[in-house]
Amino acid sequence: MDSILLNIENVSKNFDENQVLKNVSVNVYEGENLVVFGRSGTGKSVLLKLIVKLLEPNSGNIFYRNKNLNSLSAKEIAQIRKQIGFLFQSGALYDSMSVRENLSFPLKKIFNLSEKEIIEKINKTLELVGLVSAIDKMPAELSGGMRKRIALARTIITEPEIILYDEPTTGLDPITSKEISELILSLQHQLKMTSVVVTHDLICAEIIADRVIFLKDGEIYKEGLFDEIKQSNDLFIRNFFSAKILKDVGESDV
């Protein structure tokens, strides 16, 4: 592992009376794939949104390359966001724009590129996700798997240092889920990006994870390599894994 890219220090987050995260501390190292596991409602997505300042923590600090996000101006935050890609659970493609416009949008906002350079970059990125043919389609014309791929393309097109994935395989069939997970891993190798992946999907985690943290009731319950966590004797984790496997087998039978 290399140097620390992201340092989350004693972060807590409440929504009214409900405390979602309690003193969470975790480091993300440059070049690693960190998977965040946990049941629904344990604050996994909230943790990602805190990193990009879509939400503010009630206490604690988040450092990006040793810069405390709490003490930065809006302009400096905007600069840091350019280094962070975020793949939303729903894809969050802009409905009113075609695939081409969705991909060119962040490029036009961040870089000073000519039209020719933008087109070249769009074609190259669509080739990486295997969807060059969808360039002039509207998001409504795409299947769930295609939407994820295009959303992934929009996230990587600006070549961020780190990508935060919020449930990248949710709502997809097992085969497409596996394809998306393999695509994420292959892009990570090709583009040398750091990843933080929030997921319930064991197959996705097994393919992607260098390291896993397990959240329970807003706290870090367990941390380690995927195989260590999977083979843990802890009753809660064993139940989580066995319940997920049964659910996944059930879903694939249907």
Partner 1 sequence: MNLPKIKYSLNLSLTEKLLNFFLLLSGLAIFTIHFFKEMLVPPYEIEETKKQMYDFGLKSLPIVGTMGIIIGFVLALQSYFILEPFGATDFIPASVGISILREFAPILTALLFAGRVSSGIGAEIGSMKVTEQIDAMEVSGTNPFKFLVVTRVIATTFILPLLTIYVIFISLLGSFLALLIEEQMSLVYFFNSVTSYLDLSDISAGLIKTFFFGFIVGIVGAFQGYTTEGGTVGVGRSTTTSVVISSLFILFVDMILVKVSMML
Contact positions vs partner 1 (CB under 8 A) = 49, 52, 54, 78-79, 81-82, 84, 86, 88-90, 92-96, 105-106, 109-110, 158
Q: Write the DSSP string, the chain.
A: --SEEEEEEEEEEEETTEEEEEEEEEEEETT-EEEEEE-TTSSHHHHHHHHTTSS--SEEEEEETTEEGGG--HHHHHHHHTTEEEE-TT----TTS-HHHHHHHHHHHH----HHHHHHHHHHHHHHTT-GGGTT--GGGS-HHHHHHHHHHHHHTT--SEEEEESTTTTS-HHHHHHHHHHHHHHHHHHT-EEEEE-S-HHHHHHH-SEEEEEETTEEEEEE-HHHHHT---HHHHHHHHHHHHHHHHHHH-
Distance in Å, CB of 25 to partner 1, minimum: 23
Nearest to 37 by CA among 235, 207, 196: 196
User: CB-wise, 15 or 236, nearer to partner 1?
Assistant: 15
Residue 104 beta carbon to partner 1: minimum distance, rounded to whole angstroms:
12
Nearer residue to partner 1 within complex by CB, 86 or 240: 86
CB of 192 vs partner 1, minimal distance in Å: 21
Considering beta carbons, is residue 1 or 54 the nearer one to partner 1?
A: 54
Of 36 and 212, nearer to partner 1 (C-beta) is 36
- Kindly tell me which of 2 and 16 has the beta carbon lying closer to partner 1: 16
Least Å distance, CB 28 to partner 1, is 17
- CB of residue 19 vs partner 1: minimum separation in angstroms? 19
Q: Which of 99, 106, 101 is nearest to 126 (CA)?
A: 99
Taking the complex as a whole, the smallest distance from the CB of residue 24 to partner 1 amounts, in Å, to: 20
User: Quick one: 10 or 18, whose CB is closer to partner 1?
Assistant: 18
